[in-house]
Amino acid sequence: MTRGWTAVYLRELLILKRRLPKLLPTWSVSPLLYLIAFGYAVGRHVDVGSHSYLEFLLPGLVAMASMTQAYAVASEINIARFYWHIFDEFQAAPISNLAYVMGEVLAGMTRAFLASLVILLLGACFGVVLFYGPMFWIALLLNSFVFASLAVGCAMHVKSHADQTLLTNFIITPMAFLGGTFFPLSHLPGWGQTLLELLPLTHASHAVRAAAFQEPAQVIDFLVLIGAGGLCFLFAILSVNRAKV
Amino acid sequence: MIEVTGLTRKFGAKAALSGVSFTVGAGEIFAYLGPNGAGKTTTIRILTSLTRRDGGTVRLNSFDIETHPLECKSQFGIVPQHTNLDSDLSVEENLLIHGLLHHMERQEITQRTGELLDYMEMSDRRQSLVKNLSGGLKRRLLIARALMHTPRILFMDEPTVGLDPAIRRSLWGFIKRIKNDGATIFLTTHYIEEAEFLADRVAFLDAGKIVAEDTSANLMAAIGQWAVDYLDDNRLQTAFFNSREKAGDYVLNRANGCTVRRVNLEDAFISMTGRKIS
């Protein structure tokens, strides 16, 4: 059932390796601007609990970047589908939908992991070094698993690259700003907190931040990420056949 | 062997295929000839599991694409109409990924890559990025990729479209060699001379239906051996004759401006459909 996933994953890795010199600066620009504008300039004299705002912001940015870079695999798939027609090569190969989805999801997770490393390095340049233990990485991997799976599923449904941009603008961008990245949810009214706790990124931000601050992990955050990841992965597998014309 | 029965497909209200049936024997080159929009690419995409069909059955080497999709997919290779190589990867990497997708072992992939690049006379381009290859080399690489897992059936969708005549002819040589190595080849084309040169049998496809299917020789013989093109009221007309003598007599009875030539497949197609292929 899973034979062939290595081919899908290796293809993405080879492309990633070749494009890495261009991708690394690209991954650095937005987080760097957020760190300078919000973390350093605006939040310089602001504390959130017992931490500086910069310390509060960094885990949020890492969670956000792991989401956006994992989801970015949707654009890669759509370029492969609509412009290069490379998706046909996978569709005509004797591999299962599961194998294809596994390969693409792992590729998205790899991108997310590398982009997260870039932000941690940038954070270190600003003098912010937190605790990056196993729970930190597990939360990040789960978060990237959720959004890479969602990306593969969405990529199978859209009919053009413009549709994909629309999805990103209406789902990913609002989540990036509202999912506990830039501010504590406790600053919002109760209904707002309840609403935003429906977002997987909110739980990823909680989990990543708690791990980075060496605070006790909330089991609910991990359960939500595992549940959302499972659903999105299933959605991706069931969606692959829809990409047939 | 390819067995297709009652294949149908609609796009909206338009029927792209209306009950297409044919059989291609093992080791045969079967050309599927028709004008743009006739349904050639739709057929090949259904046969290769890239497009859904509305009705009909497809069996490849006795495997049904409905009940044994993965077994079917391991039977064939495809040379698509549009180049769908990974342009960011090298020639060798494109073949590696294809080999892994078809569950080949690394050692086997290395050996087969060497053989195929020799076969396609592009061993010196092994490390080249695909984006740096010429159109002709990309076409050759597409064929090499399709042959990578030693498929018993090869689908070629307009394999020489857009190439200059010299490169087209060199690709015909490769296709003949592939057939001689035992592969069954299903070829779509709108180049008359390509079908005539390569195919053991030809099917004429028009508006989603097969209107004739036979050897090139038989399809042409049905309308005659010789053709005379002449202008009648400023419109090009063609008359067909069974002998050169009769064609010559016809020319003598007409004014200047006649051309005598051999009948070709396009003449047969026009006489059956009233339309040109290209």
B83 torsion bin: left (phi>0), alpha (psi -120 to 50), beta (else) = beta
Is there a contact between B237 and B230 (Cβ–Cβ < 8 Å)?
yes
Best mutation target, A1, A86, A102, to test chain B (most B CBs within 10 A): A86
Q: Report how far residue A235's alpha carbon sits from residue A171's, in angstroms, rounded to the nearest whole number.
A: 16
Chain A residue nearest residue B69, CA to CA = A94
Rounded to two decimals, the ipTM of the complex is 0.89
Q: Report how far residue B198's alpha carbon sits from residue B202's, in angstroms, rounded to the nearest whole number.
A: 10
Model confidence at A244, pLDDT cuts 50, 70, 90, reads low
Phi, psi of A176 (to 5 degrees): -60, -35
Checking if the pLDDT of B272 tops 70, the result is: yes
> Which of B48, B70, B101 has the CB atom closest to A7's CB atom?
B101
Q: Report how far residue A207's alpha carbon sits from residue A216's, in angstroms, rounded to the nearest whole number.
A: 9
> Which of B84, B89, B93 has the CB atom closest to A88's CB atom?
B84
Checking if the pLDDT of A242 tops 90, the result is: no
Q: Do B48 and A15 touch (CB under 8 A)?
A: no
Residue A141: both structure tokens together: 């991997």
Phi, psi of A64 (to 5 degrees): -65, -45
> Which of A15, A96, A244 has the CB atom closest to B51's CB atom?
A244
> Distances from the Cα of A214 to the Cαs of A131, A218, B25, B218, in angstroms?
7, 12, 69, 83
pLDDT tens across B90-128, in order? 999 999 999 999 999 999 999 999 999 998 889 999 999
Residue A67: both structure tokens together: 């989401």
pLDDT tens across B36-89, in order? 889 999 999 999 999 999 999 999 999 999 999 999 999 999 999 889 999 999
pTM over 0.80: yes
Q: Which residues pair with B210 in a beta bridge?
A: B205
Q: What pLDDT score does A13 carry?
A: 96
pLDDT tens across A151-179, in order? 999 999 998 888 888 888 998 999 999 99
Mean pLDDT for chain A overall = 92
Q: Do A89 and B98 touch (CB under 8 A)?
A: yes
Residue A151: both structure tokens together: 């990306």
Best mutation target, B100, B148, B155, to test chain A (most A CBs within 10 A): B100
User: Å from A99 to nearest chain B CA?
Assistant: 10
B94 touches A at CB < 8 Å: no
Question: A-chain residues within 8 Å CB-CB of B97?
Answer: 7, 10-11, 14, 89
Model confidence at A245, pLDDT cuts 50, 70, 90, reads low
> Which of B51, B70, B85 has the CB atom closest to A94's CB atom?
B70
Q: Do B50 and A14 touch (CB under 8 A)?
A: no
Burial of B151 (0-12, 13-18, 19+ CB in 10 A): buried
pLDDT tens across A184-200, in order? 988 889 999 999 999 99
Question: A-chain residues within 8 Å CB-CB of B76?
Answer: 92
Say how many C-beta atoms besides its own lie within 10 A of residue B150's C-beta: 15
| DSSP run (H or E) holding A51 | strand A51-52
Q: Do A15 and B71 touch (CB under 8 A)?
A: no
User: Å from A78 to nearest chain B CA?
Assistant: 14
Is there a contact between A105 and A8 (Cβ–Cβ < 8 Å)?
no
Q: Report how far residue B82's alpha carbon sits from residue B157's, in angstroms, rounded to the nearest whole number.
A: 9
Please report which residue ranges of B102-164 form alpha helices under DSSP H.
106-119, 135-147
End-to-end Cα separation, chain B, in angstroms: 29
User: Å from A14 to nearest chain B CA?
Assistant: 7
Chain B residue nearest residue A83, CA to CA = B84
Residues 28-87 of B with CB under 8 A from A: 45, 48-52, 70-71, 73-74, 76, 78, 80, 82, 84-87
Going by the DSSP 8-state scheme, the letter that residue B90 receives in this structure is: B
Which among B210, B85, B83, B80 is positioned nearest to B158, based on CA atoms? B80
Q: Which one has a higher pLDDT value, B163 or A201?
A: A201
> Which of B86, B93, B102 has the CB atom closest to A94's CB atom?
B102
Is there a contact between B43 and B52 (Cβ–Cβ < 8 Å)?
no
Question: A-chain residues within 8 Å CB-CB of B73?
Answer: 92-94
Q: What pLDDT score does B278 carry?
A: 65
Q: Do B86 and A86 touch (CB under 8 A)?
A: yes
Going by the DSSP 8-state scheme, the letter that residue A160 receives in this structure is: S
Q: Which residues pair with B204 in a beta bridge?
A: B33, B212
| Close Cβ partners of A207 (under 8 Å, ≥ 6 residues apart) | A135, A139, A142, A143, A217, A218, A221, A222, A225
Is there a contact between B31 and B200 (Cβ–Cβ < 8 Å)?
no
Q: Do B50 and A91 touch (CB under 8 A)?
A: yes
> Which of A11, A92, A245 has the CB atom closest to B86's CB atom?
A11
User: What's the whole-number mean pLDDT along residues B233-250?
Assistant: 88
User: What's the whole-number mean pLDDT along residues B252-262?
Assistant: 82
Question: A-chain residues within 8 Å CB-CB of B74?
Answer: 94
Question: A-chain residues within 8 Å CB-CB of B101?
Answer: 4, 7-8, 89-90, 93-95
Question: B-chain residues within 8 Å CB-CB of A89?
Answer: 84, 97-98, 101
Chain A residue nearest residue B142, CA to CA = A89
Is there a contact between A70 and A148 (Cβ–Cβ < 8 Å)?
yes
Q: Do B50 and A85 touch (CB under 8 A)?
A: no
Q: Do B101 and A89 touch (CB under 8 A)?
A: yes
Strand ranges in chain B using DSSP code E only, listed in sequence order: 2-11, 14-24, 29-33, 55-60, 63-64, 76-79, 153-157, 184-189, 201-206, 209-214, 226-232, 235-241, 259-262
